[in-house]
Amino acid sequence: MKFKPQKAVLKNGREVLLRHVEVSDAQRVIDFVHGFVYDSEYVPLSEGEFNPTIAEEEQILSNYVERTNSLFLVAEIDGKLVANINVDGNQRKILRHTAVFGMGMHKEWQSCGLGTAILSAAIDWGRKNPELEILFLQVYADNEAGIALYQKMGFVEHGRIPNFFKQNGRYHDEISMHLSVK
């Protein structure tokens, strides 16, 4: 289902454009992810693990464009990508009403309301999507901002796996959360 571009105003007064990614954004998305992924404490990717070619990234983005139960939103401020959320609708028939999502943003934009803006837009889209019924996620148990955001949006915890993430010699528990968008 298509996403209609929309604007939101952050706590610091800056205007952000929320829009669906396009295949032609592939290089910008790669650069954007490189700009935050390795210094985000709570993203389970090690240095050097995110290395798609442009052709591979174009294929990934075109899947989001084509799959009616999936979404890849980007947030732009002054024409620069600053945050994204990818909602991966399951492609199996029995699970097509479910989607798992992940999100990230550049550090300097954290705690300004950007997470709230982009996640609200994705949830609204999920509620209007005739296929989707359940959104779910996995989060580091010590990611206070992430968990606060998800709880604020109505997500409820349904499970925890101890020592799920093993990062730089340190273990972190995992929390699973879900939201009904039926």
Ligand X SMILES: CC(C)(COP(=O)(O)OP(=O)(O)OC[C@H]1O[C@@H](n2cnc3c(N)ncnc32)[C@H](O)[C@@H]1OP(=O)(O)O)[C@@H](O)C(=O)NCCC(=O)NCCS
Binding site for ligand X (CB under 6 A): 40, 42-43, 103-105, 110-116, 137, 139, 143-146, 148-149, 152
Question: Measured from the CB of residue 135, what is the shortest distance to ligand X in angstroms?
Answer: 13
The residue (of 63 and 120) whose beta carbon lies closer to ligand X is 120
Question: Measured from the CB of residue 55, what is the shortest distance to ligand X in angstroms?
Answer: 27
- Of residues 117, 142, 136, the one with CA closest to residue 179: 136
CA 141 – CA 134 distance, rounded (Å): 21
Question: Measured from the CB of residue 66, what is the shortest distance to ligand X in angstroms?
Answer: 25
The residue (of 49 and 66) whose beta carbon lies closer to ligand X is 49
In the complex, which residue's CB is closest to ligand X?
A: 115
The residue (of 66 and 108) whose beta carbon lies closer to ligand X is 108
The residue (of 64 and 101) whose beta carbon lies closer to ligand X is 101
Question: Measured from the CB of residue 109, what is the shortest distance to ligand X in angstroms?
Answer: 7
Burial 142-176 (b: 16+ CB within 10 A, else e): ebeebbebbeebebeeeeeeeebbeeeeeebebbb
Question: Measured from the CB of residue 37, what is the shortest distance to ligand X in angstroms?
Answer: 9
The residue (of 58 and 85) whose beta carbon lies closer to ligand X is 85
CA 118 – CA 103 distance, rounded (Å): 9
